[in-house]
Amino acid sequence: MESRRRPPGRPPASGDPLTAERILDAALEAFATHGYEGVSVRELNKELGISHSAIYQRFGSKDGLWRAAVDHGFGRITRHMADVFDPTLTDPLEQLRLWISRLMRFSAQHPQILALMNIEGRQDTERLAYIYDTYIGSAMGRVKALLEHLEASGRIRPVPLRTFHFLVSHGGAAPYTLAALAEHFDPRSPLDPDEVEAHANLVADLIISALVSSATPPALSGQSRGRDSHGDR
């Protein structure tokens, strides 16, 4: 049977070797490295080897590209963490440990997301509000509920959600965005699979141990807070 000839012009997106995913991966890397203002769509087109108008045709504008790249990156982490609260685990403390270690592993595989937040988190912009309202706030809601449950049952010490978030995301995961600095402490790459596994487990163990070691039974904790509030009698 004679094969049909492809009509002249650009092939359809489904047959285009330069997929939207590849464009968004490159865009996310660029925004995470240079920031929104530092990214040139024209230069990105050139690096990808596509026409100077290709990105605008697909995403409409630089802002449209940024939002699509953010949705692409944060969509991955949302799907990756969706089933982290394992219903077969009856211990909520183990649930928390699993959440921390899994986030560490994901951050090692996709350091661009944390690198992007290191840039976008510096100023209160519409872009930061979009990321927080769409992804971070809702994702941390379940973690907040878990922390509050563990605190109320006397399993862990009180910890503000903000402190917990930065300790894990921007503390524990820092070697993945600061790999060059990390290798000054230890020549082994922090992105080596064995190093990632060891680091993820260690970070989870250290944080859980710190939260548990200073835990106070709920009744005693309430009495202590009462003394702090009203002073010595």
pLDDT in tens, 147-161: 999 999 999 999 999
Length of the chain: 233
pLDDT in tens, 21-58: 999 999 999 999 999 999 999 999 999 999 888 899 99
pTM (two decimals): 0.81
Lowest mean pLDDT among 21-30, 200-209, 219-228: 219-228
Query: Average pLDDT of the chain?
Result: 86
- Chain region(s) in the chain for CATH 1.10.10.60: 16-69
pLDDT in tens, 76-96: 999 999 888 766 678 999 999
- Whether the predicted pLDDT of 230 surpasses 70: no
pLDDT in tens, 166-177: 999 999 999 999
Of the candidates 138, 105, 135, the residue with the CA atom closest to the CA atom of residue 121: 135
- Whether the predicted pLDDT of 223 surpasses 60: no
- Whether the predicted pLDDT of 193 surpasses 70: yes
Q: Is the CATH number of domain 16-69 1.10.10.60?
A: yes
Q: What is the pLDDT of residue 216?
A: 65
Query: For a pLDDT cut of 90, what percent of the chain falls above it?
Result: 75
Q: What is the pLDDT of residue 10?
A: 38
Distance CA 225, CA 81 (A): 35
- Chain region(s) in the chain for CATH 1.10.357.10: 83-217
Rounded-to-10 torsion of CA 63, 64, 69, 74: 90
- Whether the predicted pLDDT of 111 surpasses 80: yes
- Whether the predicted pLDDT of 6 surpasses 50: no
Q: Indicate the helix (H) or strand (E) that contains 46.
A: helix 41-48
Tokens 């100077």 belong to residue: 52
Fold of 83-217: Tetracycline Repressor; domain 2 (1.10.357)
- Whether the predicted pLDDT of 187 surpasses 70: yes
